[in-house]
Structure formats: structure tokens, C-alpha cells
Structure 1
Amino acid sequence: MKRRRLLQGAMLAPLACRAEGERGHRKILRTALPSAEVGFDPAQVSDQTSVQVNAHIFEAPLAYDYLARPAKLTPLTAAALPEVSEDFKRFVVTLRPGIFFADDPAFGGKPRELVAADYVYSIKRYYDPRINSEHLYVYETAKLLGLSELRAEALRSKKPFDYERPVAGLRVLDRYRFEIRLAAPDPRFVHVLASNNYAAALAREVVQANGGEVMAHPVGTGPFRLKSWRRGSQIVLERNPGFREQLFEAEPAPGDAQAEAIARQLAGKRLPLLDEVQIAIITESQPRWLAFAGGELDLLELPTEMAPHAMPRGRLAPALQKRGVQAFASSGSDVKFSYFNLDDAQIGGLQPARVALRRAIVLAYDNEAELRLVFKGQGVLAQSMLPPAVYGYEPGLSSEASRSDPARAQALLDLYGYERRDAEGYRTHPDGSRLTLRRAGSPDARQRQLNELWKKRMDAVGLRIEFEQAPFGELIKKSLAGQLQIWGYSWSIGAPDGDFFLGMGYGPNAGQSNDARFKLPAFDRLYERQHVMPDGPERLALMREANRLLLAYMPYQVHSHGLRVDLCQPGVQGFMRHPLGRDWWRYVDLVSPAR
């Protein structure tokens, strides 16, 4: 991932933004996120806000070195990196003794140590039909021995999932060691064990004590715990008083000035450095920006709509420079896209006419206008679903996904039978029936801009389009249930590999990561073959062949790879966006201003 410092010259301290400092004797970081949280059970959430908060409460066995680039795995609750068999089918994790969950009434007033059984239980939860986790595909793709069969039995019998049943694919070896066995090689499975979203440890007592309220009652081993929560408004985290001694250590890449500055500033300090993190949910861009500009927030990802004001011509505005604000940009780790539901009666299917319809929609739309008008140039046009920061990305690829060509779109529609028009002048299906596109989105200013652009571009080629709106969490539920026809959002990478993005087209993942419900046997075979291979030319060739099938059948319409700009007020030290990790606040400090 390329990361560049946007401000030059005016700053004296390499990273520390100096002006505000501590609030009294407590270090309280104030930040804001653009979308409401769904809840705080890792197995049940995938939205950006919930995932980021969970990353500070729960812990996976592994993590990524905060400063190393390219990304480097490091132990977190594990004592060392896992033992991995030569065939990549057996993984043994050994935990560090003396790690404890945050205090909770479910523990009966006694300290509760993290043990191997907690990870075994937590991973099994993804298979529990009552939870219906959209992340189950991560483990089913990896083929843990016996777990899918256990889930199938629970579904068939309609009895509760049997957590006590021994299975060969996931078992406790002793108090601090657990073993995972796979049916097929998976050279990159170890990255799953670094994800708070897939491999975080929960305590069974807490889950059982809170039942259906577990989403509102997160208890983990991480540096923070939930202090208060007003749904869709504010989340407050406080330092976990029982958090173990964790001293900062990291390996900055040579020549990375930002990382080297952080390494000097935080060397040997005990984490976390903050007493509290206050997270405001502010969905509209302008109020979020004004809160930062007015000093009410310490740390903010710059809303793209505000980039012309804060970053004219790619440089921090003079007024912000004068205040000591710093800006840092990162790119290449996400992809903005829309998906087409291939089960939908209007646009779904793999027949040539339906493929032509989806390709015409893509050709009629204008990604360049979207990037310029809606996202203020903060990104680069995407050529496929694989972002630049992942293994498998093809720098020289040029696809029709990035080029607007309304004339070609119209010719394609005419060629495949969509030439007839109804009384309102809109195209019909080849059989003369009404053709209506329906695109979903959240009710905010940016979505209104996107809807205007979509309406203009579809009208230009004679395609009727309508819009439906709902909160982001509700749209996720509808998407998982296959109730949306077209929806667009952004995925950020969770591992330094393109397998995840190709997995969005894998048939068995339909209803989970495969929102498009794309099912093509030829693609599935390619995906399965590359999945078990070690990195190298043969795997790259298969990944690129699979990627071209996605472009040919168009279950997904790619838009752009975003440029993220993070701003920090004076007094903030240690923040750096990691392309994979999400627990940034663990490392952030607030210091007194230099006078």
C-alpha cells in the first residue's frame, strides 16, 4: 500500500499534532464515524463502525505489526506465530498465559483467564444456525473438518447446535493450545487468525448470560471496554483496568518517516495510552467536518466532500497548517462497487440478454463523474474488484468497467432485444414487459448525489431506475436475505491477498460475502484451485482468469479505489491507519501542547 504524507514544510514535529493536549488528567480522544453501528458481536456484524469498535474490545490470537509495511503478522494473545504443517492443513496456536477478560458479572466476581477453549467456542459460533453469521464462508471455504457436518445436523434436526461434540477440525489440546485441521491446503489461513471479525475470543459465560442481548454486551480481553452506548448516536469506550502489560513495539519500514516518528514517540510505552474514546455517529459529511474544524473532534477521516476545503490541490489548507493540524493519506486498500442481484427477476441470470443488460448499465454509468463530482477526486478509477494493495492485483489491466460509453450501451441493449419502449419512453424487456432498475442506499446527502447521477445516466439510455432508502444496518439485512436488486458500498481489505474479493463471486458464498449471488461452475473451479495453491505464477494466472470471468458476467460493477485522508488535531500522537488492522486507538496518545 502506498502511503504519502500530504503536508510538507510547515510541521516541526513529524507526527505529533501539538495544540490541545489532555483534558484535565484524563486522556479522552474524541472522534466520529459516518455510519451507525449494528452491534458488538463479531460473528454477527460486518459494518465499518461495529468492526472498528470490536477491534478494541476483542482480540484475535494474531495481529499485524502496527508500523511494518508490507503487512507483517505478529502474536497478540498467542505466545508465538502458529505451528503450521508443511501441507498447510494443520495449525496449532499456543496462547500466552495470564491474559484475562474484562470484569463481568457472568464471571461471579472472579478473574477469568483467556484459555484455548474460548477460541474453540468462539469459532464454533460461526457455524451455529441460530446466529446465521455472514462470515461463516470464511471457515467453510477453509473446510474445517467436521464443522459443516455439525451445522448441517443442527439444521436438519432443528435442535440447538452441539458445542460439546468433538470434531477433528477444531479441538483443545490443553489449557493454552488449540488445533485447527483443514480438509484441503490453505496457505493463507493463518491470516484468518489475525482478524478480530473472524477469530476474536468471547467468553461462553457472557454469551449465555446475555442471550439475545449479546450484541449490546461485549466483553473481551482487549485494551478497552464498552462504557456507554446510545444507539446510532454515541459509543464510549474506556480503558480496560484489567488489561495486561503490553509495551509498544513495532518495526517501521526503513525510510518511512511517519512510522519512524511513531516508533520513537511510543517506544517502550505501556498500552493503551488513552483513558477513554468517545465516538460520535455523524452520518452527514458537513456536520462531521465542522465538528473537527471547530475543535470538537481530535481525529477524523476527512469526508471526501470536504476535500476541496481542507485539501485544496492536495495540500492542507493554510488555516489548518497554522493550527498545527496534520493530514495523512492512504490508498489502494479498498474498492467501491455496486452489485447486481443475479437472483433478481429483472436483471439476474446468466443468459446472454441479462449479461448484456448488466454490461450496458455499467457502460451507461460514469465512474469518472462519480469520482469527480461525488468523491471530489479522492481516489482512482477501479478496473476490477481487486484493489492495488492485495496479491493478485494486475497493474496493467484496463477494463470497460472504468469507461463510460453510452452509445455502446444503447447498441448493446438494442442488439439483445431491449429496443422497444413503453408509453413513458423507457425500454422494456425483450418480451415487452416493464423493466425497472431499483438501487438501494442510505438516506444521506452523498446518496442523494449518487442517485441524481444514476438517474441522469440511466435516463440517457432509456433505462427506468427507482431508488429505495434504509439505514445501513437494515440494508445489510436485506442484502443477506437477497431482497435488494442493486446496492453499492465499499469493502476494505482484511488480509493482504485477493482471495477475499474473488470469494465474493464464489457460488457457495451466496448470501454471505457473495452479495451478487453469482453462481458459475467455471468460476468456482478456478477459485477453488487458486485457493489451495501457494503464491506464485500458477496461482496468479488462475486468479486473473477468475477475475476476467467476473468482468465478463458483471455480477459486480466496480467504481473506484478510495483515497483516505486522516486529520488529527494538535496533541494527537501515534495514529497511523493500518491497511488491515483496525485497533488504531490502542496506539494513540494525547500530549500537552508545545508552548
Structure 2
Amino acid sequence: YGSGGDFKGFDPVDSGDVESADQVCRVYEGLLEYDYLTRPYRVIPRLAAALPEVSPDGLTYTFKLRQGVRFQDDPCFPGGRGREVTAEDFVYSFRRLLDPKLESQGDWIFINHVLGAKEWVQRGDHNAPLPGFAARDRYTLEIRLAKPYPQLLWVLTMPYAFVVPREAVEFYGANFRNHPVGTGPFRLKSWRRNYRIEYERNPTFNGQRYPSEGEPEDRAAGLLADAGKPLPLLDRLVDYDIQEYYTMWQMFLGGQLYSSGINKDYFEKVITPELGLSDALKKKGIRLYKVPNLVTNYIGFNMRDPVVGPNKKLRQAFATALDVDKYIAVITNGRYSPANTPIPPGIPGHTDRPYPYQYNLSRAKQLLAEAGYPGGRDAQGRPLRLTMIMPGAGSTDARQLADFWAEQLRAIGIELVVQQLTFAEYLRREHDGETQLFIAGWVIDYPDAENFLKLFYGPNKCPGVNATNYQNPEFDRLYEQIATMPDSPERTALYERMAQITLDDCVWALIGYPLAYGLYQPWFQNYKPHAFPYANWKFYKVLPH
């Protein structure tokens, strides 16, 4: 049993947020996935029969597909029986991701890399040929690149690149996002929006077994006890949409949820001063995991906004007015470290240079005056009012967070209006660029700093992943340079330089890097912390309890 939030639906092309990616991965699959137990992270074949053959120039990747893999049974197919997946299905799915009518935020994985992709999108004809994707035969898929793309195998693990059947898209039309038809370990049984999603084992799931190898400590941790067993290990999976932490906590204590985070108001009841688990929970067999997340939390400025976009001094004043240390102590119980660069620790490109906008109230007031708003008022004496959006409609925790940031800005004379939105509406506003400021966190998609830096690349602006609509010619030139470079000290140095450019321009007001505290029931087994966990539900199991 899990707990989830409201989300947009099950369409892989619209899976850019954590919640949607998590749900999509229950039902759909792609060519590749992460090896669950191995560290450092590596990709292994999933619907591909093997890793691809790569041409000497690095521009052509040839995948052989596993034979006998079927889409789940569904009324969209003749007779209701799912058919075999072929190379043409991947060509269709990849072209669909690039279809400008769908405005997918995931088109970045192909559009600037695959041969002919950008021109195909500009033509706007979904039926026109796209030379970069080709089915050479029923089970052979070829991807041709316009230039080397070191991250290609990583991005093919992402839900954006998952395969969908044309029949389902055409049969369900605009309602396709509510009727997932995939090859994955589970299939959707029922969905009551804003309440409950239930999955059941997919009876046609094809031929995957629990891994037989891992890290040296995995066997002692019991993570290899199910080696070789058919997947998935669960028959049924239920996600609840729970907005209030008290409800989640009571369900967790009652054994209805497999896991729970720890709300700030409960932290001292659950965690000892030595940052261990309380004796009361230990006696119940509950386990505590403390895991650094490859995440950067921040407040983004929309550069298209006529107030904050052209006024760097205003953005700097805003950032300098945020008492991040107080936020970490009061709101997160010390479960963050202050962010100093968009790239989190543990990823090449992160540095230990001091953050240029550390909390300094007098400096923030000075910058605000230099921005044309002395004391928080413009030349006509009108008060400066800024609007920030955040998810969490109806959530007490979100309201407390909104009040905290509003209080911080009030200290320098800025009135910050915070709009709490449903998660789906928040994502729509961010996607469409209907923001002035937005609070956000970027969860890394693959272990490469390029995944953070693409959020600042000009051509990725809304409706793409560059939600700030930032554009800097020097940054864009460097991004295009590193996009084809293999991992090297030279590339890492450019990553550091690019991150510094975004800091100089104050595109984000940085907040912190989270340390996740998670509680897990004793009956929930085979859990190993993973930076990219979305497809891992098939490995978990539940003991009788």
C-alpha cells in the first residue's frame, strides 16, 4: 500500500512530475531500465533483448527487441486480447512524444538530438517521415542521431520513452490518459480521483525475474532472498491520495500504509536527539532509512514576467531575504542542507563555493532599493506585491510553508501572495508559463548534471522544462557544447561554469538539498533506497501480517 497525490493521468508523454512518473511506471515499460541492486547506477535491457549495438561514430543505436512481449489485454484490441510489441510501436511512441500538438515537456530527450527531429516538429505533420527512428524489421529498432548524445541510454529509462499501442491512443482519444494499456507488471483496476488508485498483477507480464546479483551487503540485508523469482512479487497495489499528514500517520501506525515520511510536528516524537528511531517504533519492527536525495529545491522566477524578469536586483533582493537556515531548522527539523548551486552534492559539477545570496536582511533591503523599490514601494509609492504558486491545496503543511516564506519577504517590504493549487493545476500553470514565481524541486532523472542544466537552456522554455523561460546566449552556447561531450574533467569544469552563470543571473532563489527520512513497516520487504525508484514496485513484497 502506498500514498500518492493527485496527478494528471497515465500518459507517458505527460509524466514529467514525480507522481505521474511513479504511476506510469506501474503499467508501462521502455527499452531499458536501471539495475535495481547495483551501484553505481547502470542501465540494463528491459524490452530490449540486449544493450544496443552502437556505430563507430556514435550516431546509430540498433536495438533488438525481446520477442513475445504483449500489451495487456484491453478492449482497444480486436477480441480484447493484447498483441505483441514490435519495433513500429516504439517508432510510433517516440514520434508521438515529439508531436507538438501534445506539448510534452519530455520532448527534450529527442528533439535536439535525433536526426531530423527538430525539422519534423517544425513541420507539424505527424505523418511525415522522421529519419531518426526506423523499424528495420519486426524486432529491430534503429535510432539515428544528428550528433553524439552521451545521455541517450539514461533517457531511454525514463517514462517519456515508454511504449504505447496506437490502438489504445486512437480508441480512447482524449480519454487515453485515463486508460493505460502497457506491458508493465501491473494493470489499472480502478481509479477514484483524489482518493484511491488500485492496481492488480498483469497476467500477461512477460518473463522478468528478481535479480540474482547485487552489492556485497545486499545478501546480508535479505535483498537477495527472492533471487530468481518471477516478478512482480505483489498481487495488488493501492495508492491513496492523502493530503493531511495526521491521517497518513494514523494509517501508517495502523498498518494500512507500507511507509511514511515524518512531518515536522512529529519529528521529535519519532526521532531521538541522536537522530535515531524512537524505542516505541523500534519495538514495532519499523525501520528508518535516511537517504540524501539528488534533489534541489528552489523558488523560480519567470523571466517573461514584466516585474521580476528584467530586474535582476529584485531577484537578488528576494533571494537574499530568505533565511534558509531558519527554514531548515523550523520547517524541516534539520533535514536539509543549504543549497549553494543548482547541482546537488554527489553529482560532478557541484562545488563548495559559497552561495552568493546568503541571508542578509540589510543587504536585501539595499538590493531592493537599487531595484527601484525602496522599502518595498515603487516610484509612485505603490507597494510591491509578488505572487508565487505552490502545490498543496488544502494542506496545512503547505499553508505553514507559504506563511513562512511570506513572512520572510515581509521583512524587507515585499508582499508575497502565495497561491496553493492542486498538484495538477500547479503543473499546468508551470507548463504553460502562467507564473510570476513558483516554488519547486527538481528530482534528477539520471546521474548527470546536464539533467539540471537543461532547465536553463533557452530552447527548452515553456512549454518545455525551462519553466523560468531563462535565456542567456553564453549559457546556451556552452550547453550545446557539453551536450555532445563524454564524461571528462573538461565537461565537469564546464558544468561548474554554467551553474555559476545561473547564479550570477539569479534565475532561482536556492533553498536546499533534502535528506529524506522514511519509515517502513517490517512486513514491507526488498526495499533498497534508489535515486530513480519509479519502476521498482515489481521488486517489493509484503509478508503476511
Which bin holds the TM-score, normalised by the shorter protein? over 0.9
Runs (5+) with no aligned partner, structure 1: 1-29, 155-160
Q: State yes or no: 1:224 paired with 2:180.
A: no
Q: What is the distance in 2 between the residues matched to 1:389 and 1:198?
A: 25
> Partner of 2:339 in structure 1?
382
Q: What is the deviation of 1:67?
A: 1.0
After superposition, the CA RMSD in angstroms is 1.8
- Native 8 Å contact 2:92 2:166 kept in 1: yes
Cα 1:371/1:106, change in 2 over 3 Å:
same
Structure 2 counterparts to residues 443-592 of structure 1, below 5 A: 443=393, 444-511=395-462, 512-592=464-544
- Native 8 Å contact 1:392 1:543 kept in 2: yes
Cα 1:323/1:70, change in 2 over 3 Å:
same
Q: Say which of 289, 293, 311 aligns to 1:328.
A: 289
Q: What is the distance in 2 between the residues matched to 1:72 and 1:262?
A: 22
Q: Say which of 149, 153, 169 aligns to 2:123.
A: 153
Q: What is the deviation of 1:36?
A: 1.0
Q: What is the distance in 2 between the residues matched to 1:304 and 1:267?
A: 38
Q: Which runs of 4+ in 1 moved over 6 A?
A: none
Structure 2 counterparts to residues 268-279 of structure 1, below 5 A: 268-279=228-239
TM-score, with normalisation over the residues of structure 2?
0.95
Q: State yes or no: 1:436 paired with 2:436.
A: no
For residue 415 of structure 1, what is the amino acid of its counterpart?
Answer: E
Runs (5+) with no aligned partner, structure 2: none
> Partner of 1:8 in structure 2?
none
Q: What is the distance in 1 between the residues matched to 2:204 and 2:336?
A: 42
Q: Secondary structure at the match of 1:265?
A: coil
> Partner of 1:57 in structure 2?
27
Q: For residues 164-184 of structure 1, what are the alpha-carbon distances to aligned partners after superposition, in whole Å with 9 as ceiling and x for unaligned?
A: x33211111111111111112
Q: For residues 385-422 of structure 1, what are the alpha-carbon distances to aligned partners after superposition, in whole Å with 9 as ceiling and x for unaligned?
A: 1122433222x232134x21111111222334332x5x
Q: What is the distance in 2 between the residues matched to 1:392 and 1:260?
A: 34
Q: State yes or no: 1:265 paired with 2:206.
A: no
Higher RCO, Cα 8 Å, sep 6+: 1
Cα 1:433/1:522, change in 2 over 3 Å:
farther
Q: What is the deviation of 1:366?
A: 1.2
Q: State yes or no: 1:183 paired with 2:149.
A: no
Q: What is the deviation of 1:125?
A: 0.8
For residue 44 of structure 1, what is the amino acid of its counterpart?
Answer: D
Q: For residues 52-100 of structure 1, what are the alpha-carbon distances to aligned partners after superposition, in whole Å with 9 as ceiling and x for unaligned?
A: 0111210011111111111011111111111223433221111111111
Q: State yes or no: 1:162 paired with 2:126.
A: yes
Q: What is the deviation of 1:230?
A: 0.5
Q: For residues 354-400 of structure 1, what are the alpha-carbon distances to aligned partners after superposition, in whole Å with 9 as ceiling and x for unaligned?
A: 11110111110111122221222222211111122433222x23213
> Partner of 1:22 in structure 2?
none
Q: Say which of 53, 57, 68 aligns to 1:83.
A: 53
- Native 8 Å contact 1:122 1:201 kept in 2: yes
Q: What is the distance in 2 between the residues matched to 1:46 and 1:303?
A: 26
Q: Say which of 211, 214, 217 aligns to 1:249.
A: 211
Cα 1:166/1:259, change in 2 over 3 Å:
farther
Structure 2 counterparts to residues 105-120 of structure 1, below 5 A: 105-109=75-79, 110-120=81-91
Q: What is the distance in 1 between the residues matched to 2:262 and 2:175?
A: 34
44-53 or 478-487, which deviates more: 44-53
- Native 8 Å contact 1:228 1:235 kept in 2: yes
- Native 8 Å contact 1:106 1:205 kept in 2: yes
> Partner of 2:246 in structure 1?
286
Structure 2 counterparts to residues 195-234 of structure 1, below 5 A: 195=158, 197-234=159-196
Aligned residue pair count: 540
- Native 8 Å contact 1:127 1:136 kept in 2: yes
Q: What is the distance in 2 between the residues matched to 1:261 and 1:522?
A: 49
Q: For residues 514-549 of structure 1, what are the alpha-carbon distances to aligned partners after superposition, in whole Å with 9 as ceiling and x for unaligned?
A: 111001111101111111111111111111110001
Q: What is the distance in 2 between the residues matched to 1:291 and 1:418?
A: 49
Q: State yes or no: 1:409 paired with 2:364.
A: yes
> Partner of 2:355 in structure 1?
399
Q: What is the deviation of 1:250?
A: 5.1
For residue 51 of structure 2, what is the amino acid of its counterpart?
Answer: L
For residue 11 of structure 2, what is the amino acid of its counterpart?
Answer: D
Cα 1:411/1:200, change in 2 over 3 Å:
same
> Partner of 1:20 in structure 2?
none
Q: What is the distance in 2 between the residues matched to 1:432 and 1:126?
A: 49
Q: What is the distance in 2 between the residues matched to 1:101 and 1:303?
A: 40
233-242 or 486-495, which deviates more: 486-495
Q: What is the deviation of 1:49?
A: 1.9
Cα 1:111/1:219, change in 2 over 3 Å:
closer
> Partner of 2:377 in structure 1?
427
Q: What is the deviation of 1:148?
A: 2.2
Q: What is the deviation of 1:434?
A: 5.0
Cα 1:206/1:248, change in 2 over 3 Å:
same
> Partner of 1:11 in structure 2?
none
Q: What is the deviation of 1:259?
A: 6.5
Q: Secondary structure at the match of 1:140?
A: coil
Q: Secondary structure at the match of 1:358?
A: helix
Q: For residues 463-497 of structure 1, what are the alpha-carbon distances to aligned partners after superposition, in whole Å with 9 as ceiling and x for unaligned?
A: 22222222111011111221111111222111000
Q: For residues 13-67 of structure 1, what are the alpha-carbon distances to aligned partners after superposition, in whole Å with 9 as ceiling and x for unaligned?
A: xxxxxxxxxxxxxxxxx1212x212100010232322210111210011111111
Q: For residues 249-294 of structure 1, what are the alpha-carbon distances to aligned partners after superposition, in whole Å with 9 as ceiling and x for unaligned?
A: 154233xx35752432121111101100010010222221221012
Q: What is the distance in 1 between the residues matched to 2:335 and 2:265?
A: 9
Q: State yes or no: 1:344 paired with 2:305.
A: yes
Q: Secondary structure at the match of 2:110?
A: helix
Q: What is the distance in 2 between the residues matched to 1:145 and 1:253?
A: 39
For residue 65 of structure 2, what is the amino acid of its counterpart?
Answer: L
For residue 451 of structure 2, what is the amino acid of its counterpart?
Answer: F
Q: What is the deviation of 1:499?
A: 0.5
> Partner of 1:43 in structure 2?
13
For residue 86 of structure 2, what is the amino acid of its counterpart?
Answer: V
Q: What is the distance in 1 between the residues matched to 2:38 and 2:263?
A: 27
Cα 1:231/1:63, change in 2 over 3 Å:
same
Cα 1:302/1:77, change in 2 over 3 Å:
farther
For residue 248 of structure 2, what is the amino acid of its counterpart?
Answer: R
For residue 359 of structure 1, what is the amino acid of its counterpart?
Answer: Q
Q: What is the distance in 1 between the residues matched to 2:469 and 2:220?
A: 45
Q: What is the distance in 1 between the residues matched to 2:266 and 2:166?
A: 45
For residue 270 of structure 2, what is the amino acid of its counterpart?
Answer: A
> Partner of 2:269 in structure 1?
309
Q: Say which of 305, 320, 323 aligns to 1:366.
A: 323
- Native 8 Å contact 2:302 2:435 kept in 1: yes
